[in-house]
Amino acid sequence: MNDHRRLGRELGLFDTDPLMGAGLPYWLPDGAAVRHALEEYVRDAERRAGYQHVYSPVLGKRELYEISGHWSHYGDDMFPPMQLGEEQMLLRPSLCPHHALIYRSRPHSYRELPFRMAELGGMYRSELSGVLGGLTRVRAIQLNDAHVFCTPDQVAEEAFAALGMIRAAYDAMGIEAARYRLSLPGPGGKYVAGPGLWERSAALLREVLDASGVAYEAVEGEAAFYGPKIDVQIADPAGRESTLSTVQVDFHQPERFGLHYIGADGGRHRPVMVHRSVIGSLERAVAHVIEVHGGAFPPWLAPAQLVVLPVSEAETEPALRLVRRCRDEGLRARLAAPEEGTLGARVRAHRLVPYQAVIGAREAADGLVALRLRDGRRLDARPADEVLHRVRERIASRGAEL
Ligand SMILES: [Zn+2]
């Protein structure tokens, strides 16, 4: 079974050290390359969709989370406060309160809305050490988060567009949603008051799900404390479900933070906050991609996209030149030198790399590259220009095709 914890260690993607602490994995270079490719993808997709990126700190004053409601509704999952002089500081459990303050820092006209604010930012959760493991139960989380501040009329369109971004990202990553869930409040949960607003939010999300044509189930007891949400569920190889992506409609936090915009009538109006995450946390997204592909990542996500294998020492120099050239052209390329073993052993050792370029005497003399693809296909020796052009095109398309 493709357990991401085993593969993560075997493939040298991430690891943990008891001295850093449980639930605090670190990323090795190959894992960081996968994560970085995903981050680039999501930032690019967000820019194209009209999002603007911000940065905000990973901690804030306790008062901030009292206003947002996190301290009273979510405090059990937060790290204890740090006393700093007269103040208490908290590691943040979410990015929402910071984004609300950033919105509030400048006046806004209805003409600027929707204001789509995005950040790949850190947040923290004080999970018990007994449940920690791999990249899926962690205490430090890097979230692909965004908040769309919009008028009530714009909510459905924004939530619908967010669902479209989620589906496009899943296609690129080669993963599938196990289930779409409309998460509603349930008995016994901690929720903020305002039942009228809950019904309004839930109705909007239902409308969005119906319009998008996906099958979904409404489940009670899974809502956020401030509003209902659409959860996109993924399943691990053992069939265990978890939430990767979400779209939430929130009338509560704009109220708590006193957010407003100036409407066409010149008056002050309350915006709605649509919280959305396309690929969820980078930790969970990478864990899932590892398990789905068993380490044979789509070319655009592969830690090494092309490996160059000189047949013998005599071809090491031209092979190195090809590696440098690939890197110049933005490819993640590496050399598998003859001292690593026989050609056959090196081909096997790098079998997960999408493209292998074997450089023998003829290729070295004529400047040719004979490409082997991960699926076993071999392409005829062609000029390096042509071969690299083909590889770059496949990677840029962000498909699964080699
Ligand atoms: Zn949020």
DSSP 112: G
**pLDDT computed for residue 133 by the predictor:** 77
CA–centroid distance, residue 283 to ligand 1 (Å):
18
pLDDT at 167: 96
Residues of the chain with pLDDT under 70: 1, 131, 195
Write the burial class of residue 10 (CB in 10 Å: 0-12 exposed, 13-18 middle, 19+ buried): exposed
pLDDT at 316 (0 to 100): 96
According to the model, what pLDDT value does residue 329 have? 95
Ligand 1 centre to CA of 277 (Å) is 9
The vertex-301 CA angle with 295 and 307, nearest 5°, equals 75
How far is ligand 1, taken at its centre, from the CA of residue 72, in Å? 16
Q: Ligand 1 centroid to 147 CA: how many Å?
A: 6
- CATH architecture for residues 4-293: 2-Layer Sandwich (3.30)
Report the C-alpha gap between 148 and 344 in whole angstroms. 53
Q: Cα(238)–Cα(1) distance, rounded to whole angstroms?
A: 8
What's the CA-to-centroid distance between 95 and ligand 1, angstroms? 6
Question: Which CATH number describes the domain made up of 306-396?
Answer: 3.40.50.800
Look at residue 237 in the predicted model and tell me its pLDDT.
83
Taking the centre of ligand 1 as the mean of its atom positions, its distance from the CA of residue 246, in whole angstroms, is: 10
Distance from the CA of 226 to the center of ligand 1, in angstroms? 10
Residues contacting residue 227 through CB under 8 Å, at least 6 positions apart: 197, 198, 201, 248, 249, 250, 251, 252
Beta carbons within 10 angstroms of residue 20's beta carbon: 12
Domain boundaries, the chain: 4-293, 306-396
Angle at 298 between CA 135 and CA 347, to 5 degrees: 100
Find the 108 Cα to ligand 1 centroid distance in Å: 20
CA of 294 to the centre of ligand 1 (A): 32
Q: What is the pTM of this model?
A: 0.94
Give the other-Cβ count within 10 Å of 368's Cβ. Answer: 18
Assess whether the region 4-293 and the region 306-396 belong to the same CATH fold.
Answer: no
Residues, beta carbon < 5 Å, ion ligand 1: 96, 275
Q: What is the DSSP letter of 351?
A: T
How much is the pLDDT for 314?
A: 95
E-only strand ranges, 24-111: 26-27, 52-53, 59-61, 82-84, 87-91
